[in-house]
Structure 1
Amino acid sequence: MRPNSLAARLTAGATLWTAVALVVAGVILTSLYRQTVERAFDERLAVYLKTLVGTLAQQEPGRLGDPGNLGEQRFELVYSGWYWQVERVGGPVVLASESLFTDTLDMTRAQNIERNEGVVSATLAGPSGQSLRVLERMIIFDAQNRFEVIVAGDAGELAEEIASFRTSVVLTLAAFGAGLILSTAIQVRWGLRPLDRVRRGLADLRSGKEHHIEGPFPAEIEPLAKELNALLDSNREVIERARTHVGNLAHALKTPLSVITNEARATSGPLAQKVAEQAEIMRMQINHHLDRARIAARAQVIGALTEVEPVIARLGRAMNRIYAERGVTVTIEIDKGVKFRGEQQDLEEMAGNLVDNACKWAMTTVSVKAALLGAEGDPERALVLWVDDDGPGLTSEQATEVMRRGKRLDESKPGSGLGLSIVAELAQLYRGGFRLDRAPLGGLRAELKLPAA
C-alpha cells in the first residue's frame, strides 16, 4: 500500500486506535489484577495474624509458648521470606518463627505504613534483603503484659506473580492486536476493491479497450459509474455535432470560394488575378482553421486508439512508389505493439507530412522508427516517432524558420510550406512534442512525441 492511499490511511487509523485501546486495556487489567492479588495476599497474612493472636490469647502472659508454623511450612524454613514475631512493647522479642533464625523484624524501619481497625500494614526489608509485606497488631493481657504481634510475607513473590501476569497480558494483547490489525487491513482492501475495478475501467477506457465502465459496483459507487458513462456519451455526442458543423461550414464556404475562383480565372486582368490569389489564400486559411477545430475536437475524445505499424507501413509503401524514380528508399522499424492514443487520420497526417518532407530532401534513404517510452499503465507513457533522411539537413536557425506556417526555404521543391507547422500544431493539440535535429544519416531528423496506449 502506498503511503498516500485510502487503504494505508484507514489501516493506519485502525492500527493507532487498536494500539491505544489495547495499551489502555492492558494497564487496566494489570492494575485490577495487582489490586486483587495484593488484597488476597493481605487477607492471607491477616489469617496468619489472627491465628497467631488467637493462639497466644489462650496462653498465660508470662509463659507464652511457640504456636508452631501456623499452617505455613515456610515459617520453619530459614530466611524463606515468611516470618512471624512476638515482641513485648518496649521490650525484647519473646517469640519468633524458625525462619528468622537469629534475626528480628525492626518495625522502626517500616515504610508505607497504613492503619486500619488496630492493624498496621507496611513494607519492610527482610533479613536477607527481601521486600516484605507486614501486618502488625497489639494484644494486651494487662498493663504489664502488652505485646506486638507481627506477621510478614515475601512481597517478591507477589511482584513475580504480577510481572508474570503482565507478560501474559502483553503477549496476549499483542497477538490479539496483530490479528485485529491484519483483519482490518484485509477488510479495508476488500472494501476498497470496487475502487480498483473503477481504476482498471478508467485505464481500459483511456487505452481504447472499452467505451464504458462496465461491471457491477456497490451502491455507493454505482451512481459514479453511471454518471461517468453518461458524461462519456455526452462528450461523444458533442464531438459528433462539432464534426457535423465543421463539415457543413466547410461545404458552405468552399462552394462560394470555388465559384469566385472559377469566375476570376475565366476573366483576364489584374483585378481577376488578385481576386483569384486572395480566394486561394482564403481557401487555405479556411482549411487550416477547420482542420484545427476538427483535430482539437478529436484530440479530446477518450478511448481513441490507433495501431502505428499498419499506418506507417501503408505510408512507406506509398512513398516508395512515389519517389522510386529518384531512387529514394523508405525503411521502417516499428516496435511491436506500439499504439497511438488518438485518431488514425491525425497520425496519418502527421507521419505523412514528415515522411513526404524527408523524401523530398533525401539523397537515397529515409528511415522511419517508432518506439514506446515509459512503463505500461503509466499515464505519461509516450510514443516517439523518428523520421531521418540523408539529405543536406538544416541549421538551428533554418529549423526554427521552417517551423513557421507557410515558410519554404527552397521554392524549387513542391509544396505549400504548411507540412511541418501542421505537424507541430497537431502534436501540441495532443499534448505531445515536435522538434528538428541532425539525423545519424547526416540529414534532418524529425522527432515526434505523442501519447501512447
Structure 2
Amino acid sequence: MTPLVERLHLPTLSVSSLTTRLFFASVVLLPVLLGFSATMLDYAFKLSLETAERDALRSQVYLLLGVAEPGDTTLEMPPALTEPRFGELNSGLYGWIVDGEGHVVWQSRSTDLIPSDYFPTLTTPFEAGVKDFFSSQFNADDFYLMTYDTVWPIAGKDTEFRFVVAHSQADLKAILAAYRERLLVWVVGLAVLLVLVQTLIARWGLQPLRRLARDLERVEAGKSQSLSGQYPADIRPVTENLNKVLRAEQAQRERYRNTLGDLAHSLKTPLSVVRGQLETADSNQQEIMPVVDDQISRMSMIIDHQLRRASAQVTQNAVYARVLVKPLIERLTGAMQKVYRHKNLKIDVNINKDLPFSGDEGDLMEMAGNLIENACKYGASHVVISASIVGNDLKIHIEDDGPGVPDTIKSTILTRGARADTATSGQGIGLSVAVDILSSYGGSLQISRSSLGGASFNLSLPAYTNA
C-alpha cells in the first residue's frame, strides 16, 4: 500500500483486510452454527417421527382391543382385521397377544412366515392398564413396540392378557435418511449462500474505505489537493480531519516558501549591489576585489545552502508525485559534459527508464547534482552512474576513475565546510547539502572504492518515501 495510507494508519485491503477477516470468520463460525441448527432439526424430525409412530401403534393396539372377544378358554379374534397389514405376510406390522404366563394366544397372519422364536418373550412385569412404547432389536432388525396390559373375564375368572404391536423401523429409517440427505444439501447450500451474501455485504459496507484509500492515493500522486466526495457519516469525521491536516500542511508549506523567498530576495539583492559596485571600483580598489568577490560568492552559497536545508525540513512531510530518475540524471550529465568539456569525460548512465523517485524533483537534482559534479571534477576520464530498486530502497551509485577518497577523511568531507582538496576553488558545502537533503528522506550516503579506481558515492533512500 502507498506510503501515505500507511502513514495515516488506515485499514488496507490485502490478505489481512477486513473483508478477508469477515470471510474467514464466516467460514469458521457458519459451519458451527449451521451444524448445530442441522443437529437440532434432525433431532426434532426424528422425535416427530417417533411421536407419530407411538400414536400409530397406540391406534393399532386400540384396534386389537376393540375387536377382541372373550371366549370359553381365552380371547378370540376375528379372522380379518380392518388394518390390512396385519393380514399381509412380512408386512412389517405385527400383532400378537400373550397371556399372563407368556403363552401366545393369538398372532396376526403377517407373522406366519416368521419363526416362532423371532420375537423374544417380553419379560416386563404385568400391570393392568399400563401402555408401554419402546424400541427393540429382534435378530438384527429394529422395531418400535407398543404393549398394553389388560384383564379379561374368561370362564368367570379374570385373566391377564398383553396386547403387543410391533412395527419395523425400516420405513422410518428410509424416511429419516432421505430427510437427512435433503437437509445436508440445504445446509451446505445455505452456508455457501450466506458466505457469498456476507462477503458482498462486507465489500459493499467497506466500499467507502476503498474510496478513501483511492482518494488518498490521488492526493499522494498530486492529482488532488484534498479528499472530495460524499462519505458515510461514520467515517466523515475522519475525512474532515484529514482535509484539515492537508490544508494546514499546504498552507504551512506556502508560508515557509514565501518566507524563504523573501529572505533570499532580501539578502541577495544587497549582495548584488555590492558586487556591482565592486565592478565599477577604481584601480586602487581592484586589488581587494578578488577577496571581496570570493567572500560575496561564499555568502551567496551559504544562503543557498541554508535555504535548501530549511526547504528540505519544511517539506519533509509533503506529498509528491513520482519523478523519473533517468531523465533527470541525463539532464545533469548533459550539463556536466558542457562544463567539463575540456576533460573529454565519458559519462555512462545505467538506469532503467521507468525507475521512479518519490520526492521533490529539486531535492533529487540537488543531491545527485552535487555528487555528479564532484565525480566530474575529480574523475580523470570516466564516470559511471547507476540506479536500481533493491528491496524497499532506491540505490544510486556515482563512480569515477579519479584518485578516490582516503579512508581517513571519508567522514570529514561530509562535514559542513570541509573539503578533501583545498587547492580547488569551492566552499566545501556541496556534499553536506546532499547529506542534509538525504537525511530528510531517511536516507544515507556511503563512500567506497570504485571499480574504476576512484571514489564511489552510494546513495540509499526509501523507494517510496514519506517525503
TM-score by length of structure 1 reads 0.83
Matches of 2:252 and 2:401, distance apart in 1: 45
In the superposition, relative to structure 1, how do residues 63 and 332 fare at CA in structure 2: closer, same or farther (>3 Å)? closer
List alignment gaps of at least 5 residues for structure 1.
Answer: 375-379
Q: Partner residue of 2:330?
A: 313
Identity %: 29
Secondary structure at the counterpart of residue 148 of structure 2: strand
Kindly indicate whether structure 1 or structure 2 has the higher relative contact order, using CA contacts under 8 Å at least 6 residues apart: 2
- Give the equivalent residue in structure 2 for 1:388: 399
2:65 is equivalent to residue 53 of structure 1: yes
Separation of aligned partners in 2, 1:214 and 1:77: 84
CA distance in 2, matches of 1:445, 1:172: 71
In the TM superposition, residue 45 of structure 1 has moved relative to its aligned partner by 1.1
Larger deviation: 38-47 or 154-163? 154-163
Are 1:31 and 2:48 counterparts? no
CA distance in 1, matches of 2:253, 2:39: 67
Q: Structure 1 437/53 Cα, relative in aligned 2: closer, same or farther at 3 Å?
A: same
3-state SS, counterpart of residue 445 of structure 1 = strand
**C-alpha displacement of 1:89:** 0.8
* Residue of structure 2 equivalent to 1:123: 135
Q: How far is 1:90 from its partner?
A: 1.7
Amino acid at match of 1:85: W
Letter in 2 for 1:309: K
> 2:357: which partner in 1?
340
CA contact (8 A) 2:102 2:121 kept: no
Cα separation, partners in 2 of 1:346 and 1:115, compared to 1, 3 Å: farther
Query: Are positions 1:192 and 2:203 aligned together?
Result: no
- Matched residue SS, 1:131: strand
Q: 2:167 aligns with which of 126, 130, 153?
A: 153
Contact 2:320 2:360 in 1 (8 A): no
Residues 260 and 307 of structure 2 are in contact (CA less than 8 Å); yes or no, is this contact kept in structure 1? yes
1:268-307 to 2 correspondences below 5 Å: 287-307=304-324
Say if 1:66 and 1:95, in contact at 8 Å, map to a contact too.
Answer: no
Among 45, 53, 58, which residue is 1:41 paired with?
Answer: 53
The residue that corresponds to 1:377 in the other structure is none
Q: Structure 2 vs 1, CA of residues 72 and 398 (structure 1 numbering), >3 Å: closer, same or farther?
A: farther
Q: 2:428 corresponds to which residue?
A: 417
The CA deviation at 1:180 is 1.0
Paired residues of 1:427 and 1:433 also in contact (CA < 8 A): yes
Tell me if 1:356 matches 2:373.
yes
| SS at 2:410 equivalent | helix
Which runs of no fewer than 5 residues in structure 2 stay unpaired? 1-12
* Residues in 2 aligned to 1:355 and 1:279: alpha-carbon distance in whole angstroms: 25
What is residue 165 of structure 1 aligned with on the other side? 179
Q: Secondary structure at the match of 1:77?
A: coil
When structure 1 is superposed on structure 2, of 352-361 and 395-404 the one drifting more is 395-404
- The 5 A counterparts of 1:135-284 are 135-142=146-153, 143-252=157-266
Letter in 1 for 2:214: R
Q: Which letter maps to 1:237?
A: A
Distance of 1:290 and 1:318 partners within structure 2: 23
- CA 1:123/1:396 → structure 2, altered by over 3 Å: closer, same or farther? same
Aligned length: 438
Is the partner of 2:76 in helix, strand or coil? coil
- How far did residue 429 of structure 1 move? 0.5
Q: Which residue in the other structure is 2:103 paired with?
A: 92
- Give, in whole Å, the separation in 2 of the partners of 1:431 and 1:163: 69
Deviations 1:242-284 (A, max 9, x none): 1222233445556778999999x9999xxxx999999988776
Question: Take 2:169 and 2:369, find their aligned partners in 1: how far apart are those partners?
Answer: 95
Once residues 443 and 53 of structure 1 are traced to their aligned partners in structure 2, the CA distance between those partners, rounded to angstroms, is 118
**Corresponding letter in the other structure for 2:386:** K
Query: Does the aligned pair in 2 maintain the 1:69–1:76 contact within 8 Å?
Result: no
Q: How far, CA to CA, are the matches of 2:436 and 2:362 in structure 1?
A: 15
Change (3 A) 1:136 1:286: same
Look up the match of 2:341: 324
Cα offset for 1:287? 4.7
**Cα pair 1:209 1:303 within 8 Å, conserved:** no
Choose 414-423 or 160-169, whichever is displaced more: 160-169
CA shift at 1:412, angstroms?
2.3
Contact between 1:333 and 1:368, CA under 8 Å: does it hold in 2? yes
Aligned to 1:408: 419
C-alpha contact (below 8 Å) 2:308/2:433 kept by paired residues: no
- More displaced 10-residue stretch of structure 1: 245-254 or 138-147: 245-254
CA distance in structure 2 between the partners assigned to 1:408 and 1:115 by the alignment: 119
Q: Which amino acid aligns with 1:409?
A: A
Work out whether residues 85 and 104 of structure 1, in 8 Å CA contact, stay in contact via their aligned partners in 2: no
* Alpha-carbon contact 1:114-1:122 (below 8 Å) kept: no
Would the aligned equivalents of 2:226 and 2:246 in 1 still touch at CA under 8 Å?
yes
Q: Which amino acid aligns with 1:356?
A: E
Report the 3-state secondary structure (helix = DSSP H, G, I; strand = E; otherwise coil) of the residue aligned with 1:325.
helix
SS in 1 for 2:428: coil
The answer to whether the 8 A contact 2:86-2:95 is kept is no
1:167 partner SS: helix
CA distance 1:211–1:74, shift in 2 (3 Å): farther
- CA deviation vs aligned residue, 1:288-339 (integer Å, no higher than 9, x gap): 4333112211332213543433322221121111111122232323322233
Conservation of the 8 A alpha-carbon contact between 1:61 and 1:141: no
For 1:19-39, what per-residue CA distance to the aligned partner results, in whole angstroms no more than 9, with x for missing partners?
444233323322221222111
Aligned to 1:22: 34
Give per-residue Cα distances to partners, 1:93-114, cap 9 Å, x unaligned. 112234243226445456xx99
Which range moved further: 131-140 or 351-360?
A: 131-140
**2:343 match: secondary structure:** coil
Cα root mean square deviation, aligned: 3.6
Q: Which letter maps to 2:400?
A: D
Structure 1 residue identity aligned to 2:261: G
Deviation at 1:427, TM superposition (A): 0.7
- Paired with 1:419 and 1:154, the residues of 2 have a C-alpha distance of 101
d(CA) in 2 for partners of 1:289, 1:75: 114
State how far apart, in whole Å, the 1-side matches of 2:126 and 2:105 are.
25
> What do residues 333-363 of structure 1 show as CA deviations (whole Å, max 9, x unaligned)?
3322233222222222111111110011111
Aligned positions of 1:74-85 closer than 5 A: 76-78=88-90, 81-85=92-96
